[in-house]
């Protein structure tokens, strides 16, 4: 069946969700699916990625969209550090999308004012929505930070330190309830964890929900000789290397940088003498913490090739997130044959098979995280771990596998 899907995402190469969406777009095109992607902010040179703003007026308005979208937060000066999207400002997308005449619309991360809530109910085509976080079923937050008010009707938001039952989150929840009732949504989640949470929500509990994991280019992210990658990155060949990194690696509390620091302090002295730490996604600063071992900062790695080198150089990749779905970094590391250590939260245990291709630690326990790091570093046959990591990526997370799953779903919705 000839299919013309349109993938909608706020960005095409900024943040984990946009990278995942763009990889799906590329995987579909490699599978001879005529996919196009529409974004609010374009950073690639890909002609099949279309900017939603084609004239100067739209482009100027787009510049202010994130600020306009966050304006409703003004009455809530006391709030926890969490991202909100309210999607209240008109977007003008309905007509622009109609001109492209797609067969099916696949929403991804559409926050920062890109797609108005009410627009989603106006699409005439079948709508798939790939969730990269919890926003589709909350009153505006992208991660609930343990709050379960999305199972009811939000309001009195603890993240906003609000005690008002009809606060902005209740208003956004009501707008979504009205819009989602008019939209026939096929929900896709990259992890079973997020699928289960969506099913427990008041907004999506009646929706069709299917799990399709994110994909990664297993040709670019592949097993490489650690010795050669370390030479290129100017890293020591005679040490074991612990790798940590993500976008805003050391500043985003959700990524658990402080838990990593605590775990490294708990490593025994013999292990500390043998290992060094490598961090990507951040630069060394004057007030950077003392990890008790030599630390190498790689800064922001902007290409897939440079990221693959970093994973290939490491003996273990540590992902100490407090809350996560199925992060790209985890899949990238596995594809490079790098064993992973992380907490058993979100979709992470679906990718890490405990003591097979890595170690799943008890949630937020630095001691168990340290135990996992030591377990990987002290393996008598580390090649076995690396082979199992690569095997997992090839079988579950390749772009080919992902594209075929999406194409089958698209076809089922168009019959």
Residue-level pLDDT at 224: 86
Distance, CA of 62 to CA of 113 (rounded, Å): 9
Tokens of 272: 């500390």
CATH class belonging to 5-215+398-414: alpha beta
Residue-level pLDDT at 134: 95
Q: Where in the chain is CATH 3.40.50.2000?
A: 5-215+398-414, 226-396
Residue-level pLDDT at 88: 94
pTM value?
0.90
Residue-level pLDDT at 56: 77
Residue-level pLDDT at 312: 94
Residue-level pLDDT at 249: 59
Residue-level pLDDT at 250: 62
Distance, CA of 124 to CA of 102 (rounded, Å): 10
Distance, CA of 318 to CA of 330 (rounded, Å): 9
Share of the chain above pLDDT 90, in %: 74
Parallel, antiparallel, or unpaired: how do β-strands 127-130 and 5-11 relate?
A: unpaired
Report DSSP state, residue 216: B
Provide the 10 A C-beta neighbour count for residue 202.
16
Query: Is-contact 231 312, C-beta < 8 A?
Result: no
Tell me the sheet residues that pair with 107: 8, 129
Chain centroid to CA 266: 29
Residue-level pLDDT at 306: 94
Residue-level pLDDT at 283: 80
Give one DSSP letter per residue of 243-303, joined into a string: EEE-TTTTT-GGG-HHHHHHHHHTS-HHHHHHEEEEEESS---TT----SS-EEEEE---S
Distance, CA of 359 to CA of 390 (rounded, Å): 15
Give one DSSP letter per residue of 313-358, joined into a string: H-SEEEE--SS-SS-HHHHHHHHTT--EEEES-TTHHHH--BTTTE
Residue-level pLDDT at 415: 82
| Axis-axis angle for helices 366-377, 257-265 (nearest 10) | 70
Q: What is the mean pLDDT of each run of 10 residues along the chain (415 residues)?
A: 92 88 96 95 92 80 86 83 88 90 96 94 94 96 91 94 94 96 94 96 96 95 90 94 80 80 91 92 77 90 92 96 88 97 94 96 96 94 93 95 96 91
Exposure of 130 in the CB half-sphere (CA atoms within 13 A)? 28
CATH superfamily, domain at 226-396 = Glycogen Phosphorylase B; (3.40.50.2000)
Distance (Å) of CA 251 to CA 76, 194, 321: 22, 24, 12
Burial class (CB in 10 A: 0-12, 13-18, 19+), 192: middle
| Axis-axis angle for helices 304-313, 226-233 (nearest 10) | 120
Residue-level pLDDT at 155: 94
Distance, CA of 377 to CA of 248 (rounded, Å): 26
């Amino acid at each position: 069946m000839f299919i013309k899907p349109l993938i909608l995402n706020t960005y095409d190469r900024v943040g984990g969700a946009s990278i995942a969406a763009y990889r799906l777009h590329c995987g579909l095109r490699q599978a001879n699916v005529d996919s196009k992607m529409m974004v609010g902010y374009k950073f690639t040179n890909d002609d099949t990625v279309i900017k939603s703003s084609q004239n100067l007026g739209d482009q100027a308005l787009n510049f202010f969209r994130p600020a306009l979208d966050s304006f409703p937060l003004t009455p809530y000066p006391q709030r926890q550090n969490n991202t909100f999207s309210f999607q209240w400002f008109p977007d003008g997308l309905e007509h622009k999308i109609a001109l492209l005449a797609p067969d099916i619309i696949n929403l991804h991360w559409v926050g920062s004012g890109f797609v108005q809530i009410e627009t989603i109910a106006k699409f005439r085509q079948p709508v798939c929505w790939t969730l990269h976080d919890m926003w589709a079923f909350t009153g505006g937050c992208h991660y609930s930070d343990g709050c379960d008010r999305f199972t009811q009707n939000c309001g009195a938001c603890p993240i906003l330190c609000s005690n008002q039952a009809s606060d902005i989150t209740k208003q956004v929840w009501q707008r979504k309830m009205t819009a989602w009732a008019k939209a026939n949504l096929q929900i896709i989640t990259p992890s079973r964890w997020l699928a289960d949470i969506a099913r427990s929500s008041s907004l999506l509990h009646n929706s069709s929900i299917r799990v399709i994991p994110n994909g990664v280019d297993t040709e670019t992210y592949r097993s490489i000789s650690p010795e050669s990658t370390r030479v290129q990155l100017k890293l020591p060949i005679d040490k074991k290397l612990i790798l940590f990194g993500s976008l805003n690696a050391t500043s985003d509390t959700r990524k658990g940088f402080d838990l990593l620091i605590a775990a490294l302090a708990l490593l025994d002295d013999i292990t500390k003498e043998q290992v060094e730490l490598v961090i990507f996604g951040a630069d060394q600063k004057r007030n950077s913490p003392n990890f008790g071992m030599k630390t190498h900062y790689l800064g922001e790695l902007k290409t897939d090739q440079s990221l693959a080198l970093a994973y290939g150089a490491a003996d273990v990749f540590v992902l100490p997130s407090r809350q996560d779905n199925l992060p790209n970094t985890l899949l990238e590391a596995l594809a490079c044959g790098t064993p992973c250590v992380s907490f058993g939260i979100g979709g992470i245990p679906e990718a890490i098979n405990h003591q097979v291709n890595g170690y799943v630690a008890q949630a937020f326990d630095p001691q168990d995280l340290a135990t996992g790091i030591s377990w990987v570093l002290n393996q008598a046959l580390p090649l076995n771990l690396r082979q199992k990591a690569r095997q997992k990526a090839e079988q579950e997370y390749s772009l080919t596998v992902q594209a075929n799953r999406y194409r089958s779903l698209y076809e089922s919705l168009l019959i």
